[in-house]
Amino acid sequence: MRILVVGDGKVGHTIAEHLAREEHDVVIVDTSEEALQRSEETLDVMCVRGNGANATTLLEAGADKADILIAATASDETNMLCCLISKKLGAKYAIARVRDPEFNESLSMLKKELDIDMAINPERATAIEISRLLRFPFASNIESFAKGRVEMVEFRAHENDVIIGKPLKDLGHKLHGIPQVLYVAVERDGDVVIPNGDFVIEDGDRVHVAADVVTITSYFRYLGKHSLRVKNVLILGGGRISYYLAKMIVPTGTHVSIIEINERKAASLSEQLPDVNVIYGDGTDQELLEQEGLSGMDAFVALCDRDEENLMTGLFAASEGVPKVIVKNNRVAYAQLISSMGLESIVSPKAITCANILRYVRAHVNGVGTKVEKIYRLMDGKAEALEFIARAQDPYIGIALKDLTMRKNTLVAVIVRAGKVIIPFGNDHIEGGDSVVIMARESGIGDLNEVIRK
C-alpha cells in the first residue's frame, strides 16, 4: 500500500518504521530537514520536505494516489486540515492525531465535516489503559477484546504462586477449583514462548492469561492477587493524560491528587477538576512527595514529560512501599531496564498510538480477507494479540482446530460466539461471525486466513 505519514516526530517516525518493515510504500512529509535526513538514513522510505497542510506539498508526496494518509504533526489543526486536503486530492483514507481536550467533545462532528476516517487521541487512550491497570493493581498490563467481554492480563509469576513448577496440562486436576484460563504467552529471560501443555511456569516469568471478565477475576482471586483496591492515587504531572485519567476515575470514588510544577497549569487544572486535590510544586522532590502522603497511597502514577523523571520518582514510590506504581515511558530501549528494576507497569502513548494506527492500516491492506478488528503489541513489541471477525465463507469454518494447520508461533487464544466466551481446545471450531483472538510471536499478520488453514 502507498501510505503518507505527515509529521516526522516520535510518533510519525515510529509509525513509518513499522509500516516500512511490513513492506508498505511509505512517504514521510515534514518541514524539518534534520528529521527527514535521519529517516532517510535509518528507514526504507521516501522523504518530502514541506508543509503537510499545503496542497502542492501533498501532491508532490503523492497524496492523490495514496491509500492511507496519517497526519501526526504536533498541531491538531494542521492534522485535520491535512486530512481534508488529502481526501479532496484523492487519498482513500485519512487518519489524524487529535490531542486537545477542547476537540474531544465535538470529535464526531469534526470527523464527519472534515472527512477524517479515524481520529486517535494518544493521551486519552493512555488514560484508558492506566484506568484499567488501577482496576487490577496486581497486573502489569491489561487488554480487552470482543467489546470488553474478554480480557488478556499480564502478571509476574512469583515463587509462592500455586501455578509454579507444574505443567500447564496438569493444573486443572492438581489445583482443585482453579478457574480455567488460557495461558497465551510467557516471556522468560527476554524470549517469548507460546506455551503448550507441557510448559512449566517458573518464578519471574511474565505470564499472559486470557478469559472472560468473570473467570479472569476469579482466577486472580484464586491466586490471592485480587485483594488490593485502589482508593487513593497520587499523580505526578498535570498534563493531558492526567486530566483524562482524573475525569475517568474520580466518578468511581477514587481520591486523586495531582502534583504540577507549572503554577499556571496547576491553577487551570484546579478549576477544570474541582474534585481533585491539585498541588503546585516539584513532584520530583522527595520531601514534597512524603509530605503529600506518598507512602500511604494505593497507587502512584508518574506522567512527567521526561521519561527519566518518571523512572526516578517511580523507583522512589516503589521503595516507599506504594503497592501500585505506573510510569510513562516512550523510549523502547528503556522498557527492559525499567522492568528489571521492578517497575512492571509501563505505559507508552507513542506505542498505544502506533498500535491503533497499525490496526487500521492492516484492516485495509486486504480488502477481501478477514480484517483485523484490534491489535495490541505485547511484551515490548515481541508479540502481538490480534482480534478478527470470522467470515462464514472462509475455508476453516466448522472444522475442529486439531484438524487445521496453524501458522508457526501462533495460537488461537479465545473465541467469542453470540456473547459467549470459549477457551478453545482441539475439538472446538470457528463459526462465521465469531470474534477470534490470535496470539502471535511475529508482526505483520493482517488476515485470519494467514494463520489458520485447512
Local structure of 332: helix, strand or coil: helix
Per residue in 41-50, pLDDT (tens digit) is: 999 999 999 9
Contact 165, 149 (CB under 8 A): no
* pTM score: 0.76
Helix (H) or strand (E) holding 13: helix 10-21
**Residues 165, 341, 199: CA angle, nearest 5 degrees:** 20
Q: Which of the given ranges, 219-233, 278-292, 327-341, 372-386, has the highest pLDDT on average?
A: 278-292
227 band by pLDDT with thresholds 50, 70 and 90: low
Per-residue confidence at 369, pLDDT binned at 50, 70, 90?
A: low
Q: How many CB atoms lie within 10 A of CB 24?
A: 18
CA-to-CA dists, residue 169 to 205, 215, 366, angstroms: 18, 18, 37
Average pLDDT (44-62) is 94
Asked if 315 and 372 sit in the same domain, the reply is no
368, pLDDT greater than 60: no
Domain boundary among 70, 104, 120: 120
* Chain-centre distance for alpha carbon 333: 17
User: Can you spell out the DSSP letters for 96-113?
Assistant: EE---HHHHTTHHHHHHH
Give the position of cell 487488554.
Answer: 143
Alpha helices in 193-301 (DSSP H): 213-222, 240-249, 263-272, 286-291
Indicate whether 167 belongs to any domain.
Answer: no
Q: Is residue 204 part of a domain?
A: no
DSSP conformational letter for 295: G
The lowest-confidence range among 105-109, 384-388, 405-409 is 105-109
Span 180-207, mean pLDDT?
A: 91
From 93, 120, 147, the end of a domain falls on 120
Contact call for residues 413 and 437 (beta carbons, < 8 A): yes
Quick check: 262 and 283 in contact, CB under 8 A? no
Instruction: Write the CA distances from 283 to 67, 117, 189, integer angstroms.
Output: 45, 39, 34
Phi, psi of 336 (to 5 degrees): -65, -40
Higher pLDDT, 107 or 357: 357
Q: Are residues 75 and 13 in the same domain?
A: yes
pLDDT of residue 336: 67
For residue 60, what is its C-alpha cell? Answer: 508532490
Q: Which residues form the domain of 443?
A: 366-453
**Measured on CA atoms in the order 324, 325, 329, 335, is the torsion positive or negative?**
negative
Average pLDDT over residues 47-66: 94
Whether the per-residue pLDDT at 351 is higher than 80: the answer is: yes
CA dihedral sign, ordered 55, 59, 60, 64: positive
In a domain, 346, yes or no: no
Rg for the chain, CA atoms, rounded: 23
pLDDT in tens, 426-443: 899 999 999 999 999 877
Q: What is the pLDDT of residue 320?
A: 93
Residue 447 clears pLDDT 70, i.e. is over it: yes
The answer to whether 280 and 302 have CB atoms below 8 angstroms apart is no
What's the whole-number mean pLDDT along residues 329-356?
79
**Do both 381 and 312 map to the same domain?**
no
Residues forming beta bridges with residue 5, ordered by sequence position: 28, 70
Residue 328 lies in a domain: no
109 half-sphere exposure, CB direction, 13 A CA radius: 4
Q: Is the pLDDT of residue 340 over 60?
A: yes
Q: Report the amino acid identity of residue 72.
A: A
Half-sphere exposure of 126 (CA within 13 A, CB side): 27
Q: How large is the average pLDDT for residues 32-44?
A: 93
Those residues whose C-beta lies under 8 Å from the C-beta of residue 113, and which sit 6 or more positions away, are: none
The reported pLDDT for the residue numbered 135 is 83
Where does the pLDDT of residue 123 fall: very low under 50, low under 70, confident under 90, or very high at 90 and above?
very high
**18 and 113 part of one domain:** yes
Position 139 pLDDT exceeds 80: yes
In contact, 325 and 318? CB cutoff 8 Å: yes
| Residue range 217-236: mean pLDDT, rounded | 88
pLDDT band at 105 (very low <50, low <70, confident <90, very high): confident
For residue 25, the model assigns a pLDDT of: 94
160-181 per-position pLDDT tens digit:
899 999 999 999 888 999 998 9
At 24, phi and psi to the nearest 5? -90, 160
163 inside domain: no
Same domain membership, residue 26 and residue 102: yes
| Residues 308 and 417 grouped into a single domain | no
Q: Tell me what percent of the residues of the chain surpass a pLDDT of 90.
A: 57
Comparison of pLDDT for 383 and 431, the residue scoring more: 431
pLDDT band at 381 (very low <50, low <70, confident <90, very high): confident
Count: domains in the chain: 3
pLDDT at 231 over 70: yes
Q: Are 28 and 114 contained in the same domain? A: yes
Which of the listed residues 87, 120, 153 is the one where a domain comes to its end? 120
Q: Is residue 96 part of a domain?
A: yes
Q: Strand pairing of 299-302 and 410-417?
A: unpaired
Report the range of poorest mean pLDDT among 111-120, 283-292, 367-376, 442-451. 367-376
What is the dihedral sign for C-alpha 327, 331, 332, 333? negative
CB 353: neighbour CB atoms within 10 A? 24
Position 147 pLDDT exceeds 90: no
Tell which residue, 158, 131, 141, has the closest CA to residue 345. Answer: 141
CB 36 within 8 A of CB 8: yes
- Evaluated on CA atoms 263, 268, 269, 270, the torsion sign reads positive
Q: What angle do CA 216, 444, 95 make, to 5 degrees?
A: 90
Whether residues 382 and 315 share a domain: the answer is no
The Cα 1–Cα 90 span in angstroms is 15
Distance CA 333, CA 252 (A): 35
Indicate whether 99 belongs to any domain: yes
Check residue 332 and give its pLDDT: 67
Whether residue 52 is found in the same domain as residue 109: yes
311 and 381 assigned to the same domain: no
382 and 293 together in one domain: no
Average pLDDT on 137-156 reads 85
**Is residue 145 included in any domain, yes or no?**
no
247's grid cell:
475525569
- Residues β-bridged to residue 246: none
List CB contacts of 313: < 8 A, sequence separation 6 or more.
Answer: 236, 283, 284, 289, 300, 302, 304, 327
Distance CA 139, CA 154 (A): 6
Per-residue CA distances from 372 to 72, 181, 393, 414 (Å): 22, 23, 17, 15
* CATH code, 32: 3.40.50.720
Say which CATH number the domain at 402 has: 3.30.70.1450
Q: How would residue 367 be classed by pLDDT, with cut points 50, 70 and 90?
A: low
